[in-house]
Structure 1
């Protein structure tokens, strides 16, 4: 899912077309264009490779295809890339690829969610959510990077990540690029980063990745969570013949059936908040994932907070459809850092139950600040009011402008260094917002 600049990678392609071409586009900001062509192949001979195999036990789909061509990245700048495969038949398919940074010292590090891309990948009929018959009970217990992505090949990247990359590049702040999997493998990239940005849908983390990111926060690196449901599933990465960390293992509710637990009883692959070894995500993100699905207005609470500077909002202003489809909230009784400042507090209904989605900001003794948007539509909202990404759930240009300016404020402030060196320490208002009820439903 990534290479260092100058490294080569292989493409394993199956096609009924006699040939195809590969074009590599770097996502960014190029005078208004959001991508730049950096390389194009010649004609590559196509071949139809054998069907994938299904591993028994874990129901893992493997496309053990031969390598079709090698792509060299000499001269490619670090960044997020889309490869476009164009078949002679006219068919197209994307492949996301990160040319990662060896160091993020002094930079904002964009952390792409490759494990989550793979968890939802239904190619071959199986994902970590369902099997070929659509049943949860027949889902994969481990998924492999040795297969294509489904749909257009880059759906999660395009919906939940691309717009944030474009915005960050437009700001001209120092940037670095990696994936959550690469942080698991080589955490040194985090050293002296000003900020780590978790993008719109970043659900699947290893305990190691979480530990390294938390350690960076406690050393002064700011954190940004531009989505919801972040760091919810606890996974294990396993090597395969094709390389390190090529399988994402997550047994979820069947974690006790994982044979790995026999010798590693404190390392289940279930939700982080669940025993054994319960560790709710709120201790890092500040928020807890609560529900799905919902569609609700985003309601401003702390209008005078620096995060909203220049947006012109007043307390109680709302932005239709910005909260969804999954959401997070502050749970007063959950383990979370303090001081915590709720800057948006949005009433909603999810599966018939009334609740709230929160956006929040907290600070820690290292000086680091942490902002969590609390809604999965945050990155999608950066495209609201444009022709990008369909209808954007009905969000309009006003919502797009608000989310864009708010995100710019956070990234610019955090790019300077530990947040409290240039911005105020968070002012804890959790009790004022939620009152004294144990379940956090008071007002």
Structure 2
């Protein structure tokens, strides 16, 4: 592991963590997606210290409530630190928006409160826990219940951090079914077309794709697929900063780091994100795609009804250029207004069909420095680490391309497809690595609040020292 002077991350994580930050009392409505009893959203995906964040909360029926804001991290293994408590507030039922053009459900709720982000709030992913405050008297035989849900936002910054971890929040929103099955995937015209919009101006429903866990309500996909990576980085004192997908529409933030990490399920990218990360690669930033199904759909940002930028997205068309998968998607689901370049030249591998399934992560080139200290031999595998979506078909003309791992994925025993994990050279002594799985973070740690997953009768087995060592090797080289 690398040895650092005391980093801001180490200083932050030396502060006392909280033993009570998770949701313990959840209640969903009959749709099984939302919690109208208490739910909310924020005015921006990310915010910097000194900037104002507006918070919108609805309680139905009306109820008093409080907001506790936690920064997620390591904190001695507790996973989060209480930063502040807001309220109590008198909550009211705010309107469920009508179905707009392109099936848009966009809230225009009355603001509950605003917070100016304190200067000492370090970059990170923050969860606001919303909790009803029932008027229970001591000794009451049948006390009123209280309910909880989250809001989520990212504090970003402009400092020269070693590592920039990009949250995959475009994808969180693409799959968000709030209020009742209104995601990019639930349009009656088809689940792969471009005829639906989604808005960040709405709560995150319970994550509803490959597993069922009400404790995710309001948190997007952070606790499911991304937090284990951040927890491990902060545990070991790496100098990491955080950003949203929307922060990457220009390369400015990324050019201040040595390593850029795409994490989890990073499917939806505005084309400006692609161009920004390509410029970062060309300027010598190391790119680590510890993710799957990444850079799959061109997802243009647009403003909301009030003109706030980057608050709506839609599926504009596939990445892939003239690659077969993109061409076939156009024929099957198009026409689309956009076509992105071949993502294989950015990531080293492509989105392929079928893109989902499960399998073992199998070593193919154990002599490579990536495997130093792992003890892995050719054919050794990390069980269940591939899934539930992945990459393959590496372009053969990338300079220095090496296939480090590969094998077969299966959709519950059928529809086999070949996946590949690769590394190739950047132009300035840097490199691009692609782990080719959404589940890489599951091999890094299992923090409090993390929700293990499975799909296609396959699942990762949890933290694995070999996955941790591979990641440490990559970061050691990237941060030289």
TM-score (norm 1): 0.82
Match 2:64 to one of 7, 12, 19: 19
Post-superposition offset of 1:95: 1.6
The equivalent of 1:123 in structure 2 is: 178
The equivalent of 1:366 in structure 2 is: 428
Quote the Cα distance in structure 2 between the aligned partners of 1:41 and 1:167.
29
Q: Spell out the pairing of 1:91-110 with structure 2 (5 A cutoff).
A: 91-103=147-159, 105-110=160-165
- 2:410 maps to 1:349: yes
Q: Does the CA contact (< 8 Å) of 1:98 and 1:178 recur in 2?
A: yes
- 2:53 maps to 1:9: yes
Quote the Cα distance in structure 2 between the aligned partners of 1:203 and 1:215.
20
Q: Does the CA contact (< 8 Å) of 1:79 and 1:100 recur in 2?
A: yes
Question: Taking structure 1 as reference, are residues 19 and 220 closer, same or farther at Cα in structure 2, changes over 3 Å only?
Answer: same
The equivalent of 2:389 in structure 1 is: 326
Alignment length (residue pairs): 393
Once the two structures are superposed, what CA deviation does each residue of 1:339-384 show, in whole Å capped at 9, x if it has no partner? Answer: 1111111223348343321111111221111111111111123346
Match 2:260 to one of 196, 209, 228: 196
Match 2:368 to one of 305, 309, 333: 305
Question: Taking structure 1 as reference, are residues 275 and 328 closer, same or farther at Cα in structure 2, changes over 3 Å only?
Answer: farther
Match 1:286 to one of 331, 348, 355: 348
Question: Taking structure 1 as reference, are residues 195 and 340 closer, same or farther at Cα in structure 2, changes over 3 Å only?
Answer: same
Quote the Cα distance in structure 1 between the aligned partners of 2:63 and 2:338.
53
Once the two structures are superposed, what CA deviation does each residue of 1:316-351 show, in whole Å capped at 9, x if it has no partner? Answer: 111221111111113346xx6221111111223348
Q: Provide the aligned C-alpha RMSD in A.
A: 2.7
Q: Spell out the pairing of 1:49-64 with structure 2 (5 A cutoff).
A: 49-56=94-101, 58-64=102-108
**Which ranges of structure 2 fall in alignment gaps of 5 or more residues?**
1-44, 134-144, 207-216, 319-329
- 2:123 maps to 1:78: yes
Post-superposition offset of 1:148: 0.8
Quote the Cα distance in structure 2 between the aligned partners of 1:194 and 1:226.
16
Structure 2 residue matching 1:71: 3-state secondary structure: strand
Quote the Cα distance in structure 2 between the aligned partners of 1:251 and 1:190.
24
Quote the Cα distance in structure 2 between the aligned partners of 1:237 and 1:337.
30
Post-superposition offset of 1:245: 0.9
Structure 2 residue matching 1:377: 3-state secondary structure: helix
The equivalent of 1:113 in structure 2 is: 168
Q: Spell out the pairing of 1:368-407 with structure 2 (5 A cutoff).
A: 368-383=430-445, 388-390=450-452, 394-397=459-462, 400-407=464-471
Structure 1 residue matching 2:229: 3-state secondary structure: helix
Match 2:84 to one of 25, 39, 58: 39
Structure 1 residue matching 2:252: 3-state secondary structure: helix
Match 1:217 to one of 281, 295, 305: 281
Post-superposition offset of 1:308: 2.0
TM-score (norm 2): 0.76
Structure 2 residue matching 1:245: 3-state secondary structure: coil
The equivalent of 1:30 in structure 2 is: 75
Post-superposition offset of 1:252: 4.3
The equivalent of 2:25 in structure 1 is: none
**Which ranges of structure 1 fall in alignment gaps of 5 or more residues?**
254-267, 417-443
Question: Taking structure 1 as reference, are residues 139 and 214 closer, same or farther at Cα in structure 2, changes over 3 Å only?
Answer: closer
